[in-house]
Amino acid sequence: MFNRILIANRGEIACRIARTASRLGVDTVAVCSDPDRGAPFTEACDITIEIGGATPSESYLDMDRILNAAKQSGAEAIHPGYGFLSENAEFAERCTAAGLVFIGPGPKAIRIMGLKDSARNAAINSGVPVLPGYDGEDQSLNTLSNRAEKTGYPVLIKATAGGGGKGMRVVTAPQDFSSSLESVRRESISAFGNDRVLIEKYFPSSRHIEIQVFADSHGNAVHLFERDCSMQRRYQKVIEESPAANLTDKLRRKMTMAAVDCAKSIDYVGAGTIEFLVDSSEFYFLEMNTRLQVEHPVTEKITGQDLVEWQLRVASGEPLPCKQEDIRQNGHAIEVRVYAENPDRGFLPATGTILDISSPDCNFGDLETATRIDAGVVTGSQISAYYDPMISKAIIWSEDREKARERMLTLLRHYRILGVPTNISFLQAILEQPEFIESDYDTQYLTQNLEQVLSDIPTNDKIPHYACAWLFFQDLNAQRDRQSRQDDRYSPWLTQNPLRTESTRKYSFEYALNAKRQILHFKNNLGRLEFDDGIKLNAEIRDHHEMSVTMRNYRAIVNVVHTENTVFLHIDGQHHRVDLADIDHANRDRLGASGTIFSPMPGRVVEVQVKPGQSVNRGDRLLCIEAMKMEHDILAPSSGTLKSIHCKSGDSVTENTLLAIIESP
């Protein structure tokens, strides 16, 4: 076993690797960029080396900086985690040349499986069925479009170096092929530095099942069963579970055997995942991930094995810890990915400071067995535009699927993250859909049912607005020393601009919801607020960030934090955001103007498709912004004439940067 390893990654996976290494008595070295100074993963490691830079290319993708840090720290091996350099054959070679062990497969296997075209050929050679399509050398538009026609629409354009849902587009008609190809190539160049693509037949109603495989340098290879990753949005996994429901034992045996055979055929060593598309009783090879997967905790829960420990042991030359007959599936596990994103704004990634985060305290008996949170953030952590917006992964185990689903819902209701928008309510809504309960879903479920799922998320609950009015009413009347509370910049009692007195007993609370000003009118009756709509509310402050609210026969605990002009609340498992109306009402009106287009996120403008004076229709694609290595189309909110464009390709923009103005007829 190694004495010291360097973790060439960040966030929750770096924390995860450090946890197992520490248990095994292995010292860990963290490397961190400038934005990650003091991040939790640096505290989880024994040594931290700052490698500078902000963007991934300046830090976690800079091989020279990583290798120099390993040499400086005296590390014997490098664990790449997932993403960044984890599937980079050149980096694996440079580790070996530097006298370091790369904790992963050899460069030959990475190269074969790292490109989807050569991976298809490897699958074919090992006898695994593949999807119809084209993966040839000729990458001209004419050849690719002709091959798409021959394959038959709909087709999927995939970047050969793609992964993580990036560099993929479904094309349903020939007229959309050229623009989709351009978008895939741009995204692939940005994320992977490679613009080669392949064409595959697209099956709309199919499931995404992956098999966890593991092999050592002694000729042994095993599988650790399957994971169902069919709940996806834009080809990115949202919820994973194991075992896969409705998968027959016969099909499971065929797929697991095919996965192991495929790994053996390329002399694979280490952890890997063979991904399959399952259509009825047939399955087809999709790709192989030559690394640890984000969803590996699901497999750990149902097998009782620590896959990071397996990686360390295999990389140090030991044989696999278990034989195939010793590996069993036990119970059911579900994992959800918690992101800083706005489900109500097209899932745009969000940035900001986490003002309050709690670990769910759910009584599931043996918590070590039942519940697991893999996180790389704490209160005060920054979610930046430089990296993936995933906050954490929540994992639940139980004896059967329904109990696991119910436990996950309970966990999410108690999982409090305030300061940035998250997808927690969206995840709850998915788990409560009848199709999920019955395991009757495929990879297109969210595409086809997204409106229904989003409609099941409470959005018009007025309780947080009433609660905010009560908070600011207390602020107006509190007999406290204001100066003594200046140290708590998140206290919701520091600002009273939204509240104004209309008479001796009547008040108005002004706030913004979806960029539109709203006003609640109320009066005070012995500390209980009576609103014009008949609602009567009483509350009690429990501490700076918690209050109890009583309204009619309803009582709830409200967690609250405040920063600048925004109040974040957590009530009954739902997260709410109340924006306090600015004094500059004209600016708020401008933000809500239907023809004025602002950037919904920080990022970089990659393409502007329109010119001033051009007529546009509602829904037309105006420009494209890249954020966190994903492209986001900006569409016309209304029809009219493009009055002005305020950005160009290559510009960096922040949230609410003015992009364009459309003049309606």
At residue 564, the pLDDT reads 67
Q: What is the CATH number of the domain that holds 639?
A: 2.40.50.100
Q: Which residue's entry shows tokens 């500390």?
A: 527
pTM: 0.83
Question: What would the mean pLDDT of 278-300 be, rounded to a whole number?
Answer: 93
Query: Same domain for 261 and 343?
Result: yes
Instruction: Give tens-digit pLDDT for 424-448.
Output: 999 999 999 999 999 999 999 999 9
Stated as kind and residue range, the H or E segment containing 305 is none
Q: What is the CATH number of the domain that holds 11?
A: 3.40.50.20
DSSP 176-187: GHHHHHHHHHHH
In a domain, 120, yes or no: no
Query: Same domain for 139 and 212?
Result: no
Q: What is the CATH number of the domain that holds 138?
A: 3.30.1490.20
Query: Same domain for 316 and 356?
Result: yes
Q: CA dist 147 to 132, 143, 156, 600, 603, Å?
A: 10, 6, 12, 37, 34
Query: Same domain for 575 and 602?
Result: no
Question: What would the mean pLDDT of 641-653 be, rounded to a whole number?
Answer: 90
Banded model confidence at residue 546, pLDDT cuts 50, 70, 90: confident
Largest interatomic CA distance in the chain = 84
Instruction: Give tens-digit pLDDT for 107-142.
Output: 999 999 988 888 989 999 999 999 889 988 899 999
Q: What is the CATH number of the domain that holds 563?
A: 3.30.700
632 is in which domain, residue-wise?
Answer: 593-663
| Catalytic positions | 291
DSSP 333-375: EEEEEEESEEGGGTTEE--EE--EE-------SSHHHHEEEEE
End-of-domain residue from the set 455, 471, 500: 455
13 vs 35: CA distance, rounded Å: 17
At residue 66, the pLDDT reads 98
Percent of the chain clearing pLDDT 90 (strictly above): 58
Q: Which residue's entry shows tokens 């920054």?
A: 382
Query: Same domain for 190 and 214?
Result: no
Q: CA dist 112 to 109, 288, 405, Å?
A: 5, 9, 38
167 vs 253: CA distance, rounded Å: 31
In a domain, 111, yes or no: no
584 pLDDT above the threshold of 60:
no
Query: Same domain for 361 and 399?
Result: yes
79 vs 91: CA distance, rounded Å: 11
587 pLDDT above the threshold of 50:
no
Instruction: Give tens-digit pLDDT for 203-240.
Output: 888 999 999 999 999 999 999 999 999 999 988 899 99
Query: Same domain for 177 and 234?
Result: no
In a domain, 117, yes or no: no
End-of-domain residue from the set 427, 455, 483: 455
Q: For the chain, how many structural domains are there in total? A: 5
In a domain, 126, yes or no: no
Higher pLDDT, 600 or 310: 310
Q: What is the CATH number of the domain that holds 306?
A: 3.30.470.20
At residue 526, the pLDDT reads 77
Query: Same domain for 271 and 391?
Result: yes
At residue 296, the pLDDT reads 97
Query: Same domain for 467 and 440?
Result: no
Instruction: Give tens-digit pLDDT for 31-90.
Output: 999 999 999 999 999 999 999 999 899 999 999 999 999 999 999 999 999 999 999 999
Query: Same domain for 226 and 355?
Result: yes
In a domain, 63, yes or no: yes
Question: What would the mean pLDDT of 392-408 be, rounded to a whole number?
Answer: 95
Query: Same domain for 444 and 467?
Result: no
Q: CA dist 119 to 86, 128, 282, 286, Å?
A: 17, 11, 19, 9
Instruction: Give tens-digit pLDDT for 498-517.
Output: 776 665 578 888 887 655 67
In a domain, 122, yes or no: no
Query: Same domain for 397 and 328?
Result: yes
At residue 598, the pLDDT reads 83
Instruction: Give tens-digit pLDDT for 459-491.
Output: 656 788 888 888 878 776 654 444 445 555 555
End-of-domain residue from the set 180, 201, 222: 201
